[in-house]
Every structure is written in structure tokens, then in C-alpha cells.
Chains A and B, each alone.
Chain A
Amino acid sequence: MSVTTLSSPVLAQRQPNWLVRLFDYKPFLIVMCLAPAVGLLSVFLTYPLGLGIWLAFTDTTIGRRGVFVGLENFQYLLTDPLWWNAVFYSVVYTGIATFGKFALGFWLALLLNNHFPFKSILRAIILLPWIVPTVLSALAFWWIYDPQFSIISYLLVDVLHWRSGNVDFLGSPWPARFSLIAANIWRGIPFVAISLLAGLQTISPSLYEAAMLDGASAWQRFRYITFPMMMPILAIVMTFSIIFTFTDFQLVYAITRGGPVNSTHLLATLAFQRGIAGGELGEGAAIAVSMIPFLIFATLFSYFGLARRKWQQGEAND
């Protein structure tokens, strides 16, 4: 390193290159450094976001430039039972799956926070469902949910003798909906557990020791130390989880493609079906745009709801 630092002024004196001086000029350097990231994000993220909102107000189809039609697409969606169905299922899917992921993920994080042998190997194994491509694990679930050769049916019918006939997982609306939610929870648990485990490890053990001295039970220690201390990280992880569960696409597209009789369409799969497969870009964009208010509401709710509660508790404790 000392060689570098010594040779560089010599280098600069020997060749007062205008290019070198230009790259050492701070404003220019800032622009050059930010250009690739900001350029990529503006062209492929900000511009499409604006374009999407514009498309939602036009009647564009694939191959034909549309004209501005005002709120027509949205008026149509409000009368469309399929859209209402997708809104309903998106909310149910997000609600139940998020609850399941966080309840089980928090539990798993608490379990992993104990001391036992092979902990790091176990932690690595647990993250596997999150690493593997979702579509590929969804295919495995599709096979597990097979009407004839489902391994769960086999377990229930032939091994445990709890049922007389096979379970029809994906054939009728409500079982299909819950099968998808189960697959989503399965995939989401590792992410929640590992992020919450990181939060758990930052809680100082002295807090628990003080509480034990005061005679707090295990539940009280969880309720009054672990939970409040975890609030900030819970808020962030939950915001992410809600956003990406509400806009989920892969699981549903891979396992049911919205069926049976369109009962498992999420807004994203409905937008794909209308916009790309059906060619009605304007209507598809309108469906996609209709997700935005839900996302903003969910984000504000989870973020400020959880963050404020923590702040209020801080006040009360003082």
C-alpha cells in the first residue's frame, strides 16, 4: 500500500492527464458513479412504473397503440366478479399466509436461539426452501397435491387410516386455496425465522437475567422482553413479507394457474392472464395498478402500526 501512495503523486506530476484530473473532480465523479445504477433504475423501473399507470388509462392491446379512455378500465374492473374474486383471495392469501409464516417462523427462530450441537448446519439446512427456485419447489408441491398419487393422501388413507378416500387438494375452490397458502407458508418460514433469529441474537442476555431475578415466568419474559425488543425488526420483515406475498405470482401460476374455475387467482396472476396471455395490455395494467393502494395501505399499516406500538410502550415504561 505504501508503494501505491508514494507513486501516485509522482504519477500525477509526470502525466498531468486531463482525464485523470476529470475523474478526480468530485461532482463529475459522483455523476459517473451514480450513472449506471440510476440509469438502469430509471429506464427499467421508474419509467415502466409511470408507463404502467398511463397504460391503465388506455385501451392498449398487444400490437395496437391505445387511446386514453379515462377510468373505463377501472369502472369495468369494479363490475367484474373475477377481479373482486382475485381481490378477495389476495387479501385472504396474504392475511393467512403472513400470520402462519410469522407464527411458525418466530417459533422456529426461538427454537434456533437455544444452544444445541450442529446448530450452524441446521440453520443452513433450514434456509434451503428459500434458496431453491420457487417454481421448482412449487412443482414438487403440485406433485405432492396430485389427486391420485398424493403422498399426503397415501399417508392419511393407507398408513394412518384416518380417511377413506384421497384428498382432493386442487380440484375444488377452498381446498385449492388452502393448499396454495400452505405452500406459501412453507416457503416463507425460513426467511422469517433467519431474519428474526438475527434480531433475537441482538437482545442482551442481561435483560433476561434481570427479569429472572425479578421472578418473571418464561411467558412473561417472552411477552415483556423478547416481543417488544423484536418490534422494529418484526415491522421491517413483515412489511417486506406482506408486499411480496400480496403480489405473489409464481406459486399460483405454477400450481393451479388460477383454477379451479378461477377461484385461486391472485391479482398478479389475473393481470398476467388478461395482460400478457390475453393481450389486453391496458386492462392488465389496470389490474396491476389496482394492487398499489393495497400495497401502500399494507405497508403503512404494518410499518407504522408496529413501530408506533413500540414507541407507545417506550413512553409507558418511562
Chain B
Amino acid sequence: MTDTVAQTATVADAKAAPDTMAWDSGLRRLMMIYLPLGCFVLILLFPFYWMAITSFKPNAELMNYKDHNPFWISSPTLAHIKHLLFDTAYPRWLKTTMLVAIGSTTLSLIASTLAAYAIERLRFRGSPYVGLGIYLAYLVPPSILFIPLATVVVQFGLFDSPLALILVYPTFLVPFCTWLLIGYFKSIPYELEECALVDGATRLQILRRITLPLAVPGLISAGIFSFTLSWNEFIYALAFIQSGANKTVPVAILTELVTGDVYQWGALMAGSLLGSLPVAIFYSLFVDYYVSSLTGAVKE
């Protein structure tokens, strides 16, 4: 209906009318939407396809494109994954990474829930400034901090220990989570807490019994996001961990599996695939929370 109105309205601009008319035609829709969208998806996903297919290719096929079509596997093999799991310390790296990710996520969630509650709900003089300060902390990139942090970690005697990573990761997790949770707490009606206060509940009881249960979606968002960010972290783990056994997966694959001049592409890609799987599975379970926390953090 709008099209017809537009048509009559644009006698002067003759080009606009066919433009709006043609917009709904199938072919144009195909060319303007589905084709570019298809290209985007193809390019965005290709590296993962390539990673996956390389992990299951025998070495002979990897290095011979003339006799084997490189886009497919003729005789899939589990040799690379077997090598990874039984001949390297990969299970150990996975365990360390999991420990670090869970530890730092828990720590950040506790710290940022309390901080967000204090800033948004306890409302003291200067609380907006504390909020702003925590937000600014998010803008300090790890690349500026890792050298002085390395000396701090050494001072604390935590060098080469996963505990260093658990304590350091909150520097970028807490600002993000606090900001996200402030947004969630804002959406909870303040009247609920006032009622409880009138009934004589203490502040901590209010936090535990009323605010937190209502903020569960926010807590899940913050939690899975923190988990992903700490799983993916690289520069601190590279700078603070020395011994092969204590490394996290991203660092270990790059420093322990890349050996010599002939790269074991099969094992490298298998390692990357296995290292990506936990976050990918996690992600597929909680897609909506990811999208909402990503957009929520940006909108704030």
C-alpha cells in the first residue's frame, strides 16, 4: 500500500517509484540480500571448515592437491587427534584452561555483582563516578598492562602459576560484568526492595532473596561471557606462564606444537579445533544470552 502512495507522491522523482516497486520482486531480493549474505556466511565460516577438514586428513592428502581434492577428505583419519591427546600434554592444557576460566569467572562474578549492587541500588554520593571509573577500566587494553603486570606477578611470587591468571583476568572481566549487571539491576523495580525493607529484611537478605533471583539472566550472560573471554585470553597467559605444563590451550598450541621448520598442520589444526569446541558448544547452548549481553553492553 505504501508503494502506491509513494508512486503518486513522487511524480517529480521518476526513478524512486520503480525503485520501491521493484524492491519486492524475487530476483532483486535474491541479488541484493541472499547472494551477499551467502558470500558473507561462506567467508566467515570457511576458516572453520578448513580447520576441521585439515584435522581429519592424513598427511599424504594434506600435502598433495594434485591427486586429492583439497576440499574433501578421501580417507579420514583420527591420527592427529590421537597424537594430540596421547603424545602431548594437551589434556593437561585443557584442564589448566578450564580451571583458569572457571576460577576467574567465579571471582569476577562475585566482585561485579556486589559492585553493581552497591552502585545501582545502595546509591551513595559519588556512585556514578565509581561506575564511570569501572567503565574506564574497560578501555585500558591488556597490551599496555602486560609488562608492568609481569613485574607485579613476579613480586607476588605468582609467576608461572595459574593462580596469577585467575587473579589478573578479572581486570578485564569485572568492568564488563559490572556494566552489564548494572543494566540488569536497573530493570528490576525498586519497589520490590522497598517492600522488603519495610517488612524489615536486611540489605543482604534483599540482595540474596530478591535482587539476585530476578537478575539470573544477567548473571548467566555475564558468566558465559566471562568464561569465553578468559578461555580466549592470550597475552597475559603468554607473558606470565613459563613451564609447558601450566600453559593454557591457546598459548600451548602456538608455543609447544609449533616446532621446527616443518609444521605439523594436521596436529595444529586438530588442536585448534579441540580448543575451539568447548566455547563453541557453550556458545550454541546460550546463543541468546551472548547476543543480548553483547548488545546490552554496547547500548549502555
Contact = CB atoms under 8 A, between A and B. Distances in A.
B5 interface: yes
Nearest to B199: A5
Contact of A126 (B40, B235, B269): B40
B26 interface: no
Given A49-B145, A55-B151, A41 B174 contact: yes
B275 to A, nearest CB: 5
Contacts of B202: 8, 12, 20, 23-24
A250 interface: yes
Interface in A56-99: 60
B44 interface: yes
Interface string B159-176: 000000001101100110
Contact of A212 (B20, B152, B249, B250): B20
B184 to A, nearest CB: 16
B111 A5 contact: no
Nearest to B297: A195
Interface string B87-102: 0000000000000000
Given A111-B37, A133-B276, A218-B19, A141 B47 contact: yes
- Per DSSP, are chain A's interface residues mostly helix, strand or loop, or mixed? helix
Interface residues of A, number: 110
A261 interface: no
A4 B201 contact: yes
A17 B253 CA distance: 54
Interface string A252-295: 01100000000000011001100110000100110011011001
Interface stretch (A117-125, A173-181, A222-230, A309-317): A117-125
Interface in B44-71: 44-45, 47-48, 50-51, 54, 62-63, 65, 70
Nearest to B282: A131
Contact of A136 (B137, B152, B196, B272): B272
Contact of B115 (A4, A38, A247): A38
B110 interface: yes
A33 interface: yes
B9 A215 contact: yes
Contacts of B16: 215-217
Contacts of B82: none
B23 interface: yes
A158 B279 CA distance: 36
Contact of B41 (A43, A125, A218, A292): A125
Nearest to B272: A136
B245 interface: no
B114 A48 contact: no
B63 to A, nearest CB: 6
Most buried by B among A8, A143, A218, A250: A143
A33 B211 CA distance: 14
Interface of B: 2-3, 5-6, 9-10, 12-13, 15-17, 19-20, 23, 33-34, 36-37, 40-41, 43-45, 47-48, 50-51, 54, 62-63, 65, 70, 107, 110-112, 114-115, 117-119, 122, 124, 130, 134, 137, 139-152, 167-168, 170-171, 174-175, 178, 195-196, 199-205, 209-210, 228, 231-232, 234-235, 238-239, 249-251, 253-254, 265, 268-269, 271-272, 275-276, 279-280, 283-284, 287, 290-291, 294-295, 298-299
7 contacts: A5-B201, A124-B291, A126-B40, A129-B44, A131-B279, A213-B6, A217-B16
Interface of A: 1, 4-6, 8-9, 12, 20, 23-24, 26-27, 29-30, 32-34, 36-38, 40-41, 43-49, 51-52, 55, 60, 104, 107-108, 111-112, 114, 116, 120, 122-129, 131-137, 139-141, 143-144, 146, 149, 151, 154, 158, 186, 189-191, 194-195, 197-198, 209, 212-218, 233, 236-237, 239-240, 243-244, 247-250, 253-254, 267-268, 271-272, 275-276, 281, 284-285, 288-289, 291-292, 295, 299
